Structure formats: C-alpha cells, structure tokens
Amino acid sequence: MENLVLTLVFLAVLFWLLGSGIWVGISLIGVSIVGMFLFTDRPIGDAMVTTMWGSASSWTLTALPLFIWMGEILFRSKLSENLFKGLAPWMQWLPGGLLHVNIAGCALFAAISGSSAATVVTVGKMSIPELRKRKYPERMIIGTLAGAGTLGLLIPPSIILIIYGVTVNVSITKLFMAGVIPGILLALLFMSYVVVWGLLNRAAMNTERVKYGFVGMMLASLQLVPVMLLIIAVLGVIYLGWATATEAAVFGVLGALLLSALQGSLTRATFMEGLLGATKTSSMIALILVGSTFLSLAMGFTGLPRSLAETIGSWHLSPLALIAALTVFYIILGCFLDGISAVVLTMAVIEPLVRQAGFDLIWFGIYLVIVVEMAQITPPIGFNLFVLQGMTGRDMDFIARAAFPLFLILIVFVVLVGLVPEIATFLPEAMKEKPG
C-alpha cells in the first residue's frame, strides 16, 4: 500500500508539473524535492547540491557537448547539398530511385551528428525540394525521411547513447561500437522497404533521371570523400583503441571546422551560431540529466525502485515477457515524452529490473535506443513529425500515416535484435577499449 501511495504521489506531481509547461529538468527536480520532503527525513539541499554537482562534473559527459557542436558546425555547412550530389548518381538506378538518398544521406549524417532532428533537417532541406521537382510521391518522401532520421539516435556518435551510458555507468566507447552494426542493418531494412515499394509501384515512379557517364558518377562521388574521411577518423580512433569517445569528439570538432572551412561555409557568424546552438542543446540535456540523477537519489531514499523491482520480480516474468512489456511501455511513453526524457526518467526503476533479469547492459542500451526511435515518429509528440511538418507544410495526420510503415519496420527490428543479440554485442566484445 505504501509503495502504491509513493508511486501515485510521484506520478501526480510529475504530470502536474509537465502539464503546466514547466521544463522537464525542473519538473524532475520538483518531483524529487516533494518526494524527499514527504517521505524521508534526509537534508534536501545538501543531497541536491552534492548529487547535481557529481552528475554534471562527469568527465565522460564531456563528449556530449563536443559531438553536439560537431553536428551544429556541419549543419551550417554545404553538407546536405554535397550528400545529395554524391549519392544521387548511384541511388537513382535502384528500385525506388532517389528515395534511397533520404535513407543513405540520413545514415551518413547520423554518423557525424548524433541527433535525430538535426539529421532530418540537414538531409531534408536539400532532398525534399529535389525529390518534389522530380515528382516523387509526397508520402514516400516524408515517410522515408521521418524513418531514416531516427538513425541519428542509433548510429554513433549518438547523443542518447552517451546519456544512457552516463546514467547506468557503462562504457560509452562500447555503446558506440554496439550501435554500428544495428545502425547499418536498420538502414538496409529501410532501403529494402523502398525497393519493394518501388517494384510494386512502377507507375508511380514516372520520375526524371539524370544521365551520368562513369566519369561523371565518379566525380560526383568525390563530394562524399570529406564526409567519409571525417566518419572514419572519429569512429576509427575509437575502434582501434587510440582514443576514448571523449577524445574522439575533439577530433570530430576539429575535423568539422576544417571541413566547413574548406567548403567556404565557416564564417564568424556561422561559428558563433553553431557554438550558441551547441550550448543551448547541451544545457537543456544537462538540466534533464541532473534532474534525473536527483530523482534517482530521491526515489532511492524512499526505497521505491527496489520495491517495484522486487514486486515485478515476484511476478516471475520471463526475459522475453519483460522485454515485450518494456517495449509496449516505452512506445506509449514516447507518445508523450521525447526520447532523452523517456530514458532518464525511467532508468531509476528500469535499471534494477534489467540487471535482475540478467540482460547485458550494452545490448539493452541498443534495444532501448531502437524503441525510443519509435517515439520520434509517433504522434502526438514525435519530434521528427514536428520537424517535417515545419519543413513540408503538411498536416500531422498525413505525416504520421506516411511514417507508419517505417514504424512497423522498427518493431520488426526490435524483435530481430532480441532474437539475435549478437547484432549489438559482437563489436563491443571483439574490440579492446583504450584504458581511461
């Protein structure tokens, strides 16, 4: 009975604060203060200051603003234009044509961004006008962009993987390596869907094709070389054990600045805009993280996470049943919260359950990101849907329906990763991480 009261109080205060329009981070701190005041005799101020400082001063967390800054720099460069020019000659001959540029372009930018929204905007600002000009179906343009944009959360360097790693205290480097194979496989699944659709809808594919000779195709491909070199540099130093994720982030920022300068898009204005954008995003995420850490402490003092874990453990759910329940839970939660908030808000309770069930925390991190990807394209709070609504002018219902087939593919992929966990665990187990 006491656990039920505790749970209801935490949830009531949290939803009241969130419903009032208060920032997620502040809401988490507010819930923590109320919970500690009502149910413990611990000193609230001392606990809050110590916990927040400890979580914010984490060295591992340093990678977060650096990778965000790297994405901000490249977002203001000519990258989207170069991606389209480099990929179009090769993709237009596949069934589905240039729709594949949306997916391949998102996969490439995801490998240097870490943000789902930034991936959608960067690729979409060039591909949407070009695909519309070539008379591709609007539903497929929006659907592939919405789905492929979620790759920004999975393919390293992923912002949400950094947050998960810091929250549950697992290696960021191993999480990054765990995301490589699933990210590539998911992109291939999206492209397979487009191939099947293209074969079944040849009449709708009466689109213009640009003729390239072999030399023209090779010259166009040179547009991709700087991007590929940056990806190889950032992920290569991690995989070879030459640098930690934080150190690799420094290489990424320097590479992005150099790439932007060589393209002629690095000016004082774009430099300051990128720096300010990275500062705002990092500050927002940091506030959510310190609020989440304080909430975890407050709930720990009340004993609620342990009690809930024991209660659910007493149900003797099989690992498969637990994963199925968590999948449904996060899909529903994703209808109301963004991915980062959903992860940090639930880890205090979910982590003990996952450890008790014996799941590999690296594997669970990849599973969690895939499920959270679904939240990016589920109404009413699907972040990618909002971004595409602003870019295309279409209503939310049309965009959600366009993204629904990609949502189904994500569900299939969750099942696949669950049945074959080696998809996520192979690279981390094969690599030797650099100490420190």
pLDDT tens column, 247-260? 888 888 898 898 88
Residue 370's identity, in one-letter code, is I
Q: Tens of pLDDT along 7-41?
A: 677 778 877 886 777 777 788 788 888 888 887 88
pLDDT over threshold 90, residue 192: yes
Q: Take residue 233 and report the two structure tokens written for it.
A: 């540099």
- Give the per-residue pLDDT at 205: 63
Q: Take residue 395 and report the two structure tokens written for it.
A: 């209503």
User: Could you tell me if residue 208 is left (phi over 0), alpha (psi between -120 and 50 degrees) or otherwise beta?
Assistant: beta
Share of the chain above pLDDT 70, in %: 89
Average pLDDT rounded to a whole number, residues 76-105: 81
Cα separations in angstroms, 326 against 145, 312, 314, 321, 377 = 27, 12, 17, 9, 18
pLDDT over threshold 80, residue 215: no
- Give the per-residue pLDDT at 128: 86
- Give the per-residue pLDDT at 196: 93
- What is the distance of C-alpha 385 from the center of its chain? 14
HEC sequence for the chain = CHHHHHHHHHHHHHHHHHHCCCCHHHHHHHHHHHHHHHHCCCCHHHHHHHHHHHHHCCCHHHHHHHHHHHHHHHHCCCHHHHHHHHHHHHHCCCCCCCHHHHHHHHHHHHHHHCCHHHHHHHHHHHHHHHHHHCCCCHHHHHHHHHHHHCHHHHCCCCHHHHHHHHHHCCCHHHHHHHHHHHHHHHHHHHHHHHHHHHHHCHHHHCCCCCCCCHHHHHHHHHHHHHHHHHHHHHHHHHHCCCCCHHHHHHHHHHHHHHHHHHCCCCCHHHHHHHHHHHHHHHHHHHHHHHHHHHHHHHHHHHCHHHHHHHHHHHCCCCHHHHHHHHHHHHHHHHCCCCHHHHHHHHHHHHHHHHHHHCCCHHHHHHHHHHHHHHHCCCCCCCHHHHHHHHHHCCCHHHHHHHHHHHHHHHHHHHHHHHHCCHHHHHHHHHCCCCCC
Span of 181-185, 272-276, 307-311, 326-330 with lowest mean pLDDT: 307-311
Q: Which of 423, 409, 372 is nearest to 194 (CA)?
A: 409
- Give the per-residue pLDDT at 11: 72
Q: Mean of the per-residue pLDDT values for the chain?
A: 81
pLDDT over threshold 80, residue 280: yes
Cβ neighbours of 129 (radius 10 Å): 12
pLDDT over threshold 80, residue 225: yes
Span of 58-67, 362-371, 397-406 with lowest mean pLDDT: 58-67
Q: Tens of pLDDT along 295-312?
A: 777 777 777 666 666 666
pLDDT over threshold 90, residue 413: yes
Q: Residue 366 — pLDDT band, cuts 50, 70, 90?
A: very high
Q: Residue 436 — pLDDT band, cuts 50, 70, 90?
A: very low
Indicate the domain borders of the chain: 25-30+56-430
